[in-house]
Structure 1
């Protein structure tokens, strides 16, 4: 492979011949699978992360992401196509740089682009003519042009002439075995005609299908629209759950019947709250940006309020059930939260409603523990530092708890044994019913 770094006019042929070197910044749930996909496509890839623990694990051939096996990681590093580092000076070696860093919310539910800005500042230190920089992190329309470009152009280099900017939203779905990074259609856009051609050529060499759109703002809006759609529909069924419960109607029975209609209906399911790195966060990026245009987003904000209220609804249902079934106050009860992850069968706790459930239980004076077969210990989080270090407990004696809340319906759990032995089960996922388990000690919430 040529060691000469292509200049601007040479980048497209370098991509087409796969002589271009790629860099991926942020080796988490998005970045590491992307890096492996690029590497398997035949490009040389350098992965960058500020966490030395991830670099050490990669060098040892130990993957910390379910979507990337140890075998794949070892093969790509062993054959010399992929390496990982915390030395950001090596960005100078990269012709294409993909940014896969977090875009969380502040406590006031406003976009926090600190990671994006700091990453661009790092790139700017070694930015040179001929490089393509692509943001994959979810964000509001305008980020690529309004946040990234000024930082990078402060070097004196000009976007579209000296270097090139693009946006391609990640679409990862942890735990989904039907799709991976290479098979999920990739929305792509560039800042200008040349950048668009480069972004399309690069991702077209890496994934099966690319979906070019008119510009970076459109591409940014695509990702927000996808997740606003899900958030609003989940809010709808969460609200219906509360209404139908008062009427004595099971929302799950309603949805299962409604989804038999072959047109005009798409099933969404209620739960204890929203989790994951996208759905609880992305709608608020749009509501924040819309204020700049003096345009209200009442529908989206209402959906956010409904979903945010679900953990408290679950705790209220638990308190009612404890009083009615056991004659016991929540403040004197021992509660087990079953499942810390935000979705089943993954070790991912980002924005997990289980953390909020535990916090609310502690505020109400309950004795709280959790069990999760995928998460041994509560790691450091932005919002729930006081829960850090709590360890998963055994679930072999559920009768020792006054109630068990099924917050995440992991498949590894013996639900029949749980229903038989537990004093009270509060099921937020319909886990018991889908397995044909019915008992007087099961309450849906």
Structure 2
């Protein structure tokens, strides 16, 4: 069976891509090594926040099908790699999922096929890691098949920008490869942006998230000294962002999470050190600042309790929202995890509530879920707003709390409220 595109990896990146391609009338085959994921999709069940079961059913009606049979990849005109690239123990990218996907494609590579890597990685991966494996069988990139990189820009939970209306950057191994990738994405993405080559496209993705990482670190560091100086940083940011040029508002928080900001800049920093022998100091400083925010939140929590003549040890601390961003269930790299771990290490009794997370085991089995939110807030010695889900009436919760620590700057001023 032939398909217009086979998408390798059916998670937060691959599945929205499959949805848009299906909507545009392309024949889409989804490949994943997880039998559970494949069976669920073929039965019409979604496992990611941005797609509902109805969305999956519409994809199925349009011809989408998932499989664990790698041989079916050989019947696709285009193959897109959308597998995760977490950090390895030494701080560099763990390319094993990419290497596994590429090896699978190499076994099924056909002349004329277009292969695109979307997984975030360091500059040079497409040319130095992907291409040699694909060429082992004798086919040559740029001559016998097309090869390109196109960074994923999926933002889980974003109701404004999705796979279709977010501009798509593409960079090919050759100009003809770029043209082939641009033509493919142009069938279902509104705007396609051509980069000079694969390295430029790879680096563009890292620049985007490094920019965010560094600016978040800037306001996180400002949050600390503004608190010590008695300055309301949230008011400062509100005033500064009225400037219509030269400023973009970033906001402090309890740390950074998700699949991009805590990880992607490290790819660039690792690559610079490995290849050039010197540090990318901005990234390493930003990482240091952002990684210490949970510890700073614990310190502030301890101080808030001290003001009420309470010790952190033995106090009940309720965490509101444990996902990495609001209004979704995604917990990847959530700062709530180190926050809970450090509170527990200091002897606090930690509980949590999250409308999107019914079971939270990331911090061990010591953190119990509060089922009655209002009762939990009233009974806790300190309530910390870690993630501001739309389901929370923050001011109402703050009014019922013994003490309320707002790390997101959304609660109105009040005697019980302290803000980051």
Structure-2-length-normalised TM-score: 0.96
- Partner of residue 47, structure 1: 30
CA offsets, 1:36-68, max 9 Å, x none?
111111110011112222222212222222322
Shift of 1:388: 9.9
Classify the secondary structure of the residue corresponding to 1:98.
strand
Shift of 1:199: 0.5
Shift of 1:29: 0.9
- Partner of residue 406, structure 1: 385
- Mark the CA change 1:163 to 1:347 in structure 2 (over 3 Å): closer, same or farther: same
CA offsets, 1:12-40, max 9 Å, x none?
xxxxxxxx620111111111000011111
- Mark the CA change 1:178 to 1:438 in structure 2 (over 3 Å): closer, same or farther: same
| Structure 1: runs of 5+ lacking an equivalent | 6-19
Worse overlay, 99-108 or 390-399: 390-399
Shift of 1:113: 0.9
Q: Distance in 2 between matches of 1:385 and 1:353?
A: 11
Classify the secondary structure of the residue corresponding to 1:95.
strand
- Partner of residue 161, structure 1: 143
- Partner of residue 418, structure 2: 443
Shift of 1:127: 1.7
Q: Distance in 1 between matches of 2:175 and 2:368?
A: 52
Among residues 232, 238, 241, which one is paired with 1:256 in the alignment? 238
1:183 and 1:207 in contact (8 A); partners too: yes
Structure-1-length-normalised TM-score: 0.90
Q: What do you get for the CA RMSD once the two structures are aligned? A: 1.7
- Mark the CA change 1:302 to 1:346 in structure 2 (over 3 Å): closer, same or farther: same
Classify the secondary structure of the residue corresponding to 1:255.
helix
Q: Distance in 1 between matches of 2:371 and 2:90?
A: 34
Classify the secondary structure of the residue corresponding to 2:259.
coil
Shift of 1:417: 2.7
- Mark the CA change 1:252 to 1:150 in structure 2 (over 3 Å): closer, same or farther: same
2:10 and 2:82 in contact (8 A); partners too: yes
- Partner of residue 373, structure 2: 395
2:22 and 2:62 in contact (8 A); partners too: no
Classify the secondary structure of the residue corresponding to 1:24.
strand
- Partner of residue 263, structure 2: 281
- Partner of residue 85, structure 1: 67
Aligned residues: 418
Worse overlay, 41-50 or 121-130: 121-130
Classify the secondary structure of the residue corresponding to 1:22.
strand
- Mark the CA change 1:202 to 1:354 in structure 2 (over 3 Å): closer, same or farther: same
Q: Distance in 2 between matches of 1:36 and 1:250?
A: 44
Shift of 1:103: 0.9
| Structure 2: runs of 5+ lacking an equivalent | none
Shift of 1:120: 0.9
